[in-house]
Every structure is written in C-alpha cells, then in structure tokens.
Structure 1
C-alpha cells in the first residue's frame, strides 16, 4: 500500500494525553505541541506529514458514547473529503478503545483510506510510558503502507478493528484478537445505505449476560425500557435458560414488536451455533440472531451502525448475519 501524503491525527483524549490533577489523571488539551516536540527527538524514524485535529472537550474514554463515535466518524470524513487526508490516526483512551475501533469499522465501511487507532496504558511523559512507542509505531506502520479499513495498533501489532478486545488492565500488550471461529458469508458490495457517507443517529441498545439465577422480570424490565436492540451474552455455543417459559415469552414478545435480539458467546474463544444444543434452538426460535464468532464489541458496534442507519428489524437481521468488513469471516 502507498505511504500517506497527508495524515490526519485525531486526538480524542484518553490516557495518552492525560495530566495529573488533584483528583488523579484527567484528559488535557494541548497535545499537538507535545507531539511535535517529541517528534523532533525521534531520530531514525521515517514518519508521514500530518495535521492535527482535536475533538473538544477531550474525554476519558470511560465516558465514550454513541455521540462521540458519530463525532469521530464525522471528523474523519471531513479530514478525508475536505482536507485531502489519505490516512487517519485516532488517539483514544484504552478503556473503550476496542468498542470504538469496532464501531468505526462499521460506520466507515468503504472509506478509501486506512484508519488506525492507538493509545497507551501510561500517559506520555510518564516514566516507562508506552505512549510514544505506540503513537510513533502507528505512524511508522502507516508510513510503510496500511490497507484501507479500520485497525488498532498497540504494543507493536496491527489488529483488525472489528476483532480486537482489551484483555488486560495493566500490561502494555493489553489488546489482542481472541482466536474465535469466524462463521459468515461475505456480503460482497456494501449497500449504499450502509457506506461511510450514510448519516447515522444514536439508538437505544443494551447488553445483557445470561447468568445462573437471571429472572424473566429483569429481562422484561430491560426490554420495556425502549431499547431497539438487545445483545445477549449467551453461554458456550449460544445457550441460555431455555426452560424459563416466562423469559422466552419476554424475548418473543419483544421480537414481535420489532426489537432486534442478537447473541454472542460469553467464551473468549467461543462462537454461537444455535443448533448444537436444544437450549440454543429454543433461543433461536424466540427470535435471536447469531453473531457467530463476533466479539461483544463488534456485535454492539454493528447493531449501532445498522439500526442507526434507519434499517428495520428484518434488514438489520439480514446484514447482521453477513460479513461486512471481516468481523465474521476470514
């Protein structure tokens, strides 16, 4: 892939640019000057020319929301379409980095330039920090050529944006692509109503894990809150409390009124295949659609992108079951 002629560095906040305050580390502006000063000290690296944009206010990624995802996608589109950037580097906090990488993977379908996200476990300038290593490593990877699409760079590795999860809270190699089985058919050409030019709106979504003792009334209350999509984290290959008639009835009722019900596996290396167990078949008959081997982050981001584009329940279920950017199939 060609080297970028103009890189957009999009700063959203996160640990990488945090400063110490009386109450602890907090997001801070002014990172462009720090970045340029540090780059002047980086000898021996071949890095692309870049422009800097900052989403204000910078946030701790623990406060990430759908509105922030939409703002990032809009800033990236503007950088490409209006400013002539041919690559993008997003600086982001690590707590929700994998969620944002997944969401952007689906919000930016068919964007003709590479988008790489990175961050750090320690702030830039802190003793032993991984901040500059990750940031300049991501820049160097882009300089060497990265394919169009969304990826995450961390601890020396480029990872697929819709397959990565944060697996550690302290180690520098905190992110990985869990080796899940990928089950899905390629969608082929991205439909016009799902490509990166398509406007999106926030949508009410929820994630709920099955666990021993879950009650139908709890599921009913969540479904009655106005959610348009519910991601259920099932056991193993897609099972759940199939002998709870009230719970199954609550799911069927919600599906009948248009709520999209999707299922991922709770297992880090798992995938959903409803027909393996009768308990899984019961969930499928209640209206759940399988996420295959998608991660929680990918399934949530995909539901957001599909429902946020205004698709109806049947359309969402159709595209959710197909592979759009490598999230379901190799």
Structure 2
C-alpha cells in the first residue's frame, strides 16, 4: 500500500489521446508531452515520479487483439524486472478496457505491484472532458498507495480488474463492478505456469450467447473453426436447449476431442448453477465447466491465459473452476 517510487505510464492509444482527422477521431502518438504539460500547469495534483512508454502504433481499442494483450504484459514485466518500476498506469481506450483489465489480471498473477488501467470517454483537451480527471485521479490513487494486482480506475472509482464491465456507452460513469453472486473455491497455490513469469501464446477462444432458434449447425460451424475453448453464455442459472439432441451431440463430440467448454450466465447479475433445472443438468453433461458468477470479460480472459500457458484441456478445466485473483470470490 506504499506510494510507488517509480511509476510506468504505459500509453496504448484510445480516446484519451485521440486527435481529429478527416475521418474523425483517431489514436495519436506524442501523448507524453501533453501529459507533462498538463502536470506542469497543475503542480498541486498529487502524482508519483513516472517514466513514459508508448506501444507503437497507438491503437483504437476497438481493434484490440490478443497480441496487444501479450505486448502489454511484456512491457509491464520488463518495466518491473529491468527498469525497477513498482507500479503501472496503463492508458487504454474504453471499448475493450474491461477485457484488457481482465486479461492482464490473469497474465500478471502474483506480480506484486499495482497495475491501474484508465481511459476516458472524451479526448484530453476537449472542454469538459473526463480525460484529465481520470488520469490524475488514477495518479492520486497510486500516490496514496494501491494494493498489488490489476485494477480499473474510472470516474472516481477504483474497480477490480476481473470483475468490471462497461455498462454505458456515453456517460462518464461508464464502468462498474457487476453485482454477480461470488462464491467458489480459491486456488490454494498457483503453479509457476500460471504466474506472471510464464510467457503466453495466443489461443483460439470464442464465445457464443444462447438464443431461441440457435441451431446445431451454428454450433458445429463454430466448433469446426478450430477453437480450443468455447464459452457458452447460457440462460439464467446455466440452462440451454436441452431437447436438441444434435446440438448436445455436437458439444459432446467437441469435448471428447479436447475442446474446453465453459459456461457463464447471460444475466447481468446471474451465475451458473447447473443442478437447479434439468435443462442445465443435460447441458452440463456434455462436458461444460461452470464459470460461476464470472463476467464474459473475465471468463474469456481466463480461458485465454490458461490455454496460452500451454495447459492440457483437463488442466484448463481444473483451474478455470477455481478462483485465481478474485474473479469468483470477494
């Protein structure tokens, strides 16, 4: 909880640093000079000493990919191991901010320093923008001391990196921790293969919301695309079409050949509990592992991190069901 001695500010792009072009707002480089000028104009704002790094080229977070997550992870690890940084502030676009916060939560398990992600709904420099309040608010939080782990700071709130979703597309108060039931068994000890020291590889992970009219052919086509894991967003407490034998057979066959099948609830405040309804039990019997009250962002990121560590399907299922960083337990 001590204030950092050397903070890395890692700029990835996003609305916070965007500037106008002929086609509209686009990510722009050179944000360090703008940040230093703003800080010099307001020396009363608390902020740790910081160094600046920028991912090149800066991106619109709507274009976020797994390779960007891995680049962020590598930059953070290098800053801690090689440059002696003891905290990180990562500037990011809002469209996929919650996804990246969740991904880094699992890619940096056990790192031992605070990592805060923030961004803004309007660019820095726009009158009334939330950019500087969010950025300097995050710096002030770090100056006061933040517990190790990945956090998201937005609109004056410090949020858990693996429990947060974007709920609004226009309001400054766009993010919140989703009020899902949180219970489950915590991992007693993390193996070295799951900690921040373990480099990761890309993984082919997909999500599919269940909906009335979903056909077995839809599921078969997705499973035939080479996915290593499929996250089903089920109804309610984990139910789905239990009378479609072709669909159930497609899931069973995929699981038998090593595809990890996981389930979360579509409900904003729901969680999976397969045994409540027969429809849930039949779906679970195809090989699904419960994601409890995890958000979509957390479940996808967790599957990516586990598969990217090279774990076998059975190992992925084992660790997916356990709480690793507070995604399943308060």
TM-score (norm 2): 0.99
Shift of residue 188, structure 1, vs aligned partner: 2.2
Aligned to 1:174: 174
Secondary structure of 1:117's partner? strand
Aligned to 2:41: 41
Aligned to 2:104: 104
Aligned to 1:122: 122
Q: Is the 8 A contact 2:39 2:45 kept in 1?
A: no
Aligned to 1:67: 67
Aligned to 1:53: 53
Structure 2 counterparts to residues 123-272 of structure 1, below 5 A: 123-272=123-272
1:107-128 C-alpha deviation (Å, 9 max, x unpaired): 0000010000000000000111
Shift of residue 43, structure 1, vs aligned partner: 3.6
Secondary structure of 2:226's partner? coil
1:162-205 C-alpha deviation (Å, 9 max, x unpaired): 00000000000000011100121110221111000101100111
Measure, in 2, the Cα distance between the counterparts of 1:283 and 1:96: 30
Measure, in 2, the Cα distance between the counterparts of 1:41 and 1:133: 14
Segments ≥4 residues shifted beyond 6 Å: none
Structure 2 counterparts to residues 80-99 of structure 1, below 5 A: 80-99=80-99
Measure, in 2, the Cα distance between the counterparts of 1:244 and 1:12: 45
Measure, in 2, the Cα distance between the counterparts of 1:129 and 1:282: 50
Structure 1 alignment gaps of length 5 or more: none
Measure, in 2, the Cα distance between the counterparts of 1:178 and 1:109: 21
Measure, in 2, the Cα distance between the counterparts of 1:289 and 1:297: 17
Aligned to 2:327: 327
Measure, in 1, the Cα distance between the counterparts of 2:310 and 2:171: 40
Secondary structure of 1:2's partner? coil
Structure 2 alignment gaps of length 5 or more: none
Measure, in 2, the Cα distance between the counterparts of 1:136 and 1:6: 16
1:40-88 C-alpha deviation (Å, 9 max, x unpaired): 1224222100000000000000000000000000000000000000000
Measure, in 1, the Cα distance between the counterparts of 2:44 and 2:277: 57
Measure, in 2, the Cα distance between the counterparts of 1:5 and 1:297: 32
TM-score (norm 1): 0.99
Shift of residue 309, structure 1, vs aligned partner: 0.3
Deviation larger for 182-191 or 85-94: 182-191
Measure, in 1, the Cα distance between the counterparts of 2:175 and 2:130: 13
